[in-house]
Chain A
Amino acid sequence: MKLTISEDQRELQSVAREMLADLAPLSLARAFLEGKGDATTLDQQLGYLGWYAVGLEDDGFGVQGLCMLAERCGAQAAPTALVDTAVAARIAAAIGGDDELTARVAVGEAATALAVVEAGADWTLAGVEATLRAAGDDLVLDGVKVGVQAAPRVDALLVLAEHAGEPAWALVPAEAAGVTLLDGHALDPAADCRVVELSGVTVPAARALVGDDAGAVERALRVGAVATAAEGVGAASAALDLAIEYAREREQFGAPIGSFQALKHLMADAHVDRESAWSSVLYAAAALDEGDAEAAEAVAVAKAWSARASRAVVEAALQVFGGIAFTWEHDAHLLQRRVLAAERRFGDAIQHERALGARLAARRVGAPT
């Protein structure tokens, strides 16, 4: 009963640190900010390195390994479809069958974007207005999705839609007829979001998940929630590291500002926040890897805590910089944007806290665990 990581995982972490610093320097996120981002090389390399598939098989890395990669993507505010692809792979696996695209997505060979949020629907999956309707042997998909990350660069979209009054999922090739990508400007430019219009898109039944596989979907979304928590922690933590470096150099009143106790304690609190958040992420990921009965709860805990902690960390970092980090030229806001984006995806703190409150109320004390 302890929370440790293996040598292999440590190795993955350090390779990821090096590779992503190289493939996705903050200048890449900045290029997206300026509207001229090109992530072709990054996308290719992620596929080539096999990172989309980390944790899918019993590879010794697990969801913890995925979180380590996501943490690094966050730290570089990297424009990747890593987490969405990991989630889509799990839902595609639940679809099963021998459709070629579904099979490629299921093993992490095809970068995929999740299309979940709508003007009136969020990560609780309630209120979805996109529809998936029978049309002969096939299905047909209609609706408008927002905040679809990396949409122009993925092989496929996995779309949440309503079918017979239940949430259903449809896998759609990015190039399919009836799919239109519209401007999707959002706070984090490196998320490369689009609004996606789906108009009469034909979906073969072999690419749809309808009916009662809610368990598989919930498990997949949990992987997304914990990996996104990791991404947020990574971004916030990178901002804190920049702030610490700055505080050692910048002088006022004849002394480095990092020697002032008010700033020390601000940064120490931020360190406590990032460490505790990372502990909760590692724990929840391990709970998923180990099939722990309390995994759902651990994920909600990690996502809620990390969301609040990551924001506190990045805000502390910004304060350390004073005016300089308030400029467009400074890199801190690239990380700040990523923190805020990650905080919302796969359920914000309020959504997960509410779910935990309901669980607490439903639970009876004294039941052995």
Chain B
Amino acid sequence: MKLALDDGELALREEARAFLAANVPDPAQIPHDFDAKVEFLRAWQARLHGAGLVGLSWPEAYGGRGASLTEQIVVNAEMARAGAPIVIGNVGLDVVGPSLVEQGTDAQKARFLDRILSGADIWCQGFSEVGAGSDLAALRTKARITDDGGFVIDGHKIWTSYAQHAQWCAVLARTDANAPAHRGISYILVDMSSAGIEIRPLVQVTGDAEFSEVYFDAVEVPAENLLGELNGGWAIAMHTLSHERGWYGVGRQAVLRVLLDGMVEEARALRRGGRPALEDEDVRATLARAHIGLEVLKHQGLRSVGQMIADGHPGLESSVDKVVLGRVEQEMAAAGLDALGAHAALGAGAPAGVDPEAWQHVYLYARAGSVYGGSAQIQKNIIAERILGLPRGAR
């Protein structure tokens, strides 16, 4: 049996279900005030950690369960289904943590890993800059090396998700200006309370301030905060990005599935031409295609995860997964808007059981699916040149 859950996965699912049934807070309890909300979500992560439901696939020695990736996926799907609040520390859990596990010194592991799991430390990822988005290697944030091997960082990061409530930031900075672009970059762990850091939240199209600009003005960082080798940051960053892409789609699929199921119910409540929208053939077909896309996203993800487990690391296929995710999420979001008909672009005055604004949020957020984590075009460049072997050329 392959698709079916194995005994370990089943047991975990039951465990997660039982915990979530008893513990998922009523959404009305989640504070609106931003800082209060962050504290609330941090406490929620601590409870999940207490129940051993985050970082499952981390080694036991570092506070995980040494579980398989598929077990973590099963648990994440249960959280989505139970309507659990988001896990606020996901950058630490999914991106920085695994890099620390692989590349960190014993001291770094002891210092950071447990606090990532419990939500005590929220991490952000300071990679992108104004002049270095897709062309990440063009980054100019500079880390001058001091006599004692420490760093002084000057520069400006942008689009840094969760920066405004993060305790730590994984910063890519240039440590050798004379080396070729990819070889002069280091991966440095920066305490966000350091002197010289200024955070300016950016409001997204959705109205949320999920990301920020981060300015570094002579920020001092001790030598022990270098992850991996000096000037070896590029490989770590690429590795974590592919890790992120490698199984992110399956998790995201679980969240999108809950949203689409909700849209089917809304289409039942909404009227179009005097009868339930869900009885309209074109609405049904539109939702059916969105449903198909989501299923295929799951199939693609499960195949990649299978490959990833067999190989021990994510491969170039993760670029395929990322393109599928962006496309499917955007098509699904558009399908929902189309189903909403006359109410799609309205807010007030919607029928009971129909929430156009929530879906507008889904739609607006979906546009980011083909931008963050390496845009769709960048993934296609990778697919064309590195999977299909097409010649490099003018870009």
Q: Which residues does A use to contact B, with CB under 8 Å?
A: 1-4, 244, 247-248, 255-256, 258-261, 263-265, 267-269, 271-272, 275-277, 279-280, 282-283, 286-287, 290, 292, 297-298, 301-302, 304-305, 350, 353-354, 356-358, 360-361, 363, 365
Contacts and interface: CB of A to CB of B under 8 A. Distances in A.
A356 B390 contact: no
Contact of B381 (A1, A264, A286): A264
Contact of B384 (A267, A287, A298, A304): A267
A266 to B, nearest CB: 9
B381 A4 contact: no
B2 A259 contact: no
B285 to A, nearest CB: 6
Most buried by B among A297, A350, A353: A353
Interface stretch (B114-122, B143-151, B199-207, B289-297): B289-297
B264 A248 contact: no
Contact of B324 (A272, A301, A353): A272
B296 A276 contact: yes
A255 to B, nearest CB: 6
Contact of B73 (A1, A3, A286, A356): A1
Most buried by B among A244, A279, A354: A279
B217 interface: no
Interface stretch (B49-57, B131-139, B218-226, B304-312): B304-312
Contacts of A297: 295
A127 B390 CA distance: 49
A258 B300 contact: no
Contact of A286 (B2, B279, B305): B2
Contacts of B383: 268, 271-272
A277 B377 CA distance: 21
Contact of A268 (B298, B303, B384): B384
Contacts of A260: 393-394
24 contacts: A1-B5, A1-B9, A244-B388, A247-B390, A255-B391, A258-B384, A259-B393, A260-B393, A265-B377, A265-B381, A271-B387, A271-B388, A275-B320, A279-B296, A279-B303, A280-B295, A280-B296, A283-B299, A286-B2, A290-B4, A357-B281, A358-B284, A365-B262, A365-B265
A276 B320 contact: yes
Contacts of B291: 301, 356, 360
B248 to A, nearest CB: 16
Contact of B390 (A2, A264, A292, A365): A264
Contacts of A286: 2-3
B395 A261 contact: yes
Contacts of B390: 244, 247-248, 258-259, 263-264, 267
A287 B389 CA distance: 33
B391 A4 contact: no
A272 B284 contact: no
A358 B285 CA distance: 9
A279 to B, nearest CB: 4
B15 to A, nearest CB: 15
B317 interface: yes
Given A248-B390, A259-B393, A361 B3 contact: no
Interface in B233-291: 261-262, 264-265, 268, 278-279, 281, 284-285, 287-289, 291
Interface string B68-110: 0010011000000000000000000000000000000000000
Contacts of B299: 3, 276, 279-280, 282-283, 301-302
Majority-rule SS of A interface residues: helix
B303 A354 contact: no
Nearest to B293: A305
Interface residues of B, number: 59
A264 B385 contact: yes
Given A1-B70, A271-B388, A283 B324 contact: no
Contacts of B388: 244, 264, 267-268, 271
Contact of B4 (A247, A292, A358, A365): A292
Contact of A265 (B74, B278, B292, B384): B384
Nearest to A265: B380
B292 A3 contact: no
A351 to B, nearest CB: 11
B3 A353 contact: no
Contact of A357 (B5, B285, B307, B324): B285
Contacts of A3: 2-3, 299, 302-303, 305-306
A9 B379 CA distance: 30
A292 B393 contact: no
A265 B154 CA distance: 37
Interface string B1-36: 111111001000000000000000000000000000
A263 B281 CA distance: 36
Contacts of B380: 264-265, 268-269
A47 B395 CA distance: 51
B111 interface: no
Given A271-B387, A271-B388, A272-B327, 7 more contacts: A1-B2, A2-B303, A264-B381, A272-B324, A277-B296, A363-B264, A365-B261
Interface string B315-339: 0010010011001000000000000
A298 B287 contact: no
